[in-house]
Structure 1
Amino acid sequence: MITPLRNAYYLSLPVVFGAVLSNKMAARLSDVTPVHWATPVVLAVAVFIIYTLDRLLDIQKSGYTQTPRHQFHQHYEPLLWRVLLGAAVLGIVLAFFLPKSVVKFGIVLGGVCAAYVAAVYRLPERHPALLLKEPLVAILYSVGVWGSVWVQRPETNGIEIAQFFMFLGIAFQNLLLFAVMENREQPQRPAFSLATELGLERSDTVLRWLTFLVIATGLTLCFLTEDRFAQRSAIMLAIMSLTLYGIQRYPAYFLKHERYRWLGDAVFWFPALVL
């Protein structure tokens, strides 16, 4: 049954909102320069455009995986293309209010994202380069969230950089976990992904190590800094990773009704608890 909540989920709005909250957490790690008000808005618009465009291009391919999310985009395709155009116009208008450093950063990152989406659309279904999708998306997402803040500051410190890599690890953990869970959903027809290439056992090992490294880094940072907010954000990032590990640990429960997607995307809302 289609509901407003499920529509928001299919439109990746939880991911968009999570990017904004994570961006605000990154901004609070340093109060050197106030972050421009338009930065999180443009970030939200950009994330929405990339995720929606990726789905709309997916359904143009023959033999694409018929997930409920893709079926939603196929059903509302004409409307979504218009919404996408409106979002692009809004993003361009808001860009005029941004500092020059953010505009330059956005142009470079936007060009990389456009090249990535175009490459994914043009590559054959099982091209080896598609195995890089999870790490590349994690990098682009993390750089967009943190880089849009850093370019507005005269400098960054080691604590911020360490927490960026924690966030990057969580983003990759989230995407690899989703690929693993999708393969568990359809074992007879696994989607071509890094999880398929590694196999479920090795993917589980990678995910466990990611959890360990993120948590260990978070606990270490708590002893290396006296900044209370930096300590809280480090602990929150560790909790985000631990939550994803919980999904991995109990796959049967979280596969029901796509619970893994709801909670897996919702972990990026956790920064709201420390803001």
Structure 2
Amino acid sequence: MPDNRTPINAWVTVILGLVVLGIYTLDHLLDNLKAEQPRTQRHSFIKQYEPIIWRLTLGSLLLAGCLSWLIPEPLWEFGLGMVAFVGLYLWGISRMKVKSHQQALKEPVTSLIYAAGVWGSTWYLGMEVSWESVWLGVIFYLITVQSLLLFSHFEAIKYREVFNLARWLQRKNTLRVLKIISLVILVVCLTICYLTEYHYVQRLSIILIAMTAAHYWMILNPEKVVTDERFRLAGELVFFLPGLVL
């Protein structure tokens, strides 16, 4: 996500998309290697089309690696660091037991990887990192955590055998955390809008508020998104909203 000061690099955007796709599918593929893994709708889909998805996953990661030569040189160091971190993460989750309390770490760590890839690449390309960019980066991370925790919440409702962060927190605490995140995002973004002198930052802050508002709507209307796992499509569409600020 650009900060309106750093030029947009199309290749960085393409590579980020390929890497996110690769990590997302590889995560599920590794989950399916565990015999005790609950068969949720998404895991069943991955299992059914496993050979195709393996090729798609490896192909997207290989293509991202080939295209990396087209990105600015300062990003290579950042990219190598991210590759090492993601590799360590995937190795760790592949060794986790399905019912382990460590499964609760997946959502915040996955959120960190995604937010770091989006915001970190912008910081590396920029000449300076403004206070607005730092705070908006933190807010973007919180929105990502909220999204994945929301997914976990709905999945825990639909599949009683699933063990994730929402199951670990329990339903009451999960809803409390989700609502607190929305409140924090609202307060911080409105404060940024008031203090900043950049109209772009104000527009982006409003977009981030809209994103958490969409999540909050899903919190209040679970019956409309749990069926057929519509919450996944709705939740992923939320992350297209920042494109409106360009």
Is the CA contact (8 Å cut-off) linking 1:214 and 1:238 kept in structure 2?
Answer: yes
Give CA-to-partner distance per residue, 1:173-197, whole Å, 9 cap, x none: 01111111111113xx241112111
TM-score normalised by the chain length of structure 2 = 0.96
Shift, 1:55, TM fit: 1.1
Counterparts of residues 24-63 of structure 1 (less than 5 Å) = 27=2, 29-31=3-5, 33-63=6-36
2:129 to 156, 168, 177: 156
Identity %: 33
How far off its partner does 1:253 sit? 2.0
CA contact (8 A) 1:38 1:97 kept: yes
Name the aligned partner's letter for residue 44 of structure 2.
Q
Q: 2:200 aligns with which of 229, 242, 245?
A: 229
Q: Indicate conservation of the 8 Å contact 1:182/1:190, yes or no.
A: no
Identify which of 103, 114, 129 aligns with 2:102.
129
AA partner of residue 30 (structure 1) = N
Bigger relative CO (Cα 8 Å, ≥ 6 apart): 1
1:119 aligns with 2:119: no
- Which ranges of structure 2 fall in alignment gaps of 5 or more residues? none
Q: Is the 8 A contact 2:4 2:200 kept in 1?
A: no
Matches within 5 A, 1:155-194: 155-186=128-159, 189-194=160-165
CA contact (8 A) 1:190 1:196 kept: no
2:4 partner amino acid:
S
Match of 1:198 in 2: 169
Contact 1:35/1:152 (8 A) holds in 2: no
Which residues in structure 2 correspond to 1:60-79 (within 5 Å)? 60-79=33-52
TM-score, normalised relative to structure 1: 0.86
Matched letter for residue 102 of structure 1: L
Q: 1:123: Cα distance to partner?
A: 1.6
Figure out how many residues of one structure are paired with residues of the other and give that number: 246
* Aligned 8 A contact 1:135 1:172 in 2: yes
Q: Which amino acid aligns with 2:176?
A: T
Cross-structure match for 1:208: 179
CA-to-aligned-CA distance 1:97-128 (integer Å, 9 cap, x gap): 11222111111011111111111011222222
Check conservation: 1:211, 1:245, Cα contact below 8 A: yes
- One-letter code aligned to 1:210: I
**What amino acid maps onto 2:242 in structure 1?**
P
Distance 1:59 1:42 in 2: 26
**Residue 102 (str. 1) matches residue 102 (str. 2):** no
CA contact (8 A) 1:101 1:152 kept: yes
Structure 2 residue corresponding to 1:147, chosen from 115, 120, 133: 120
Give 1:271 deviation, angstroms: 1.1
Match of 2:218 in 1: 247
Which structure 1 segments of 5+ residues have no match? 1-22
CA contact (8 A) 1:240 1:267 kept: yes
Quote the offset at 1:226 in angstroms. 2.1
Give the Cα–Cα distance (whole angstroms) in 2 for the partners of residues 85 and 183 of structure 1. Answer: 30
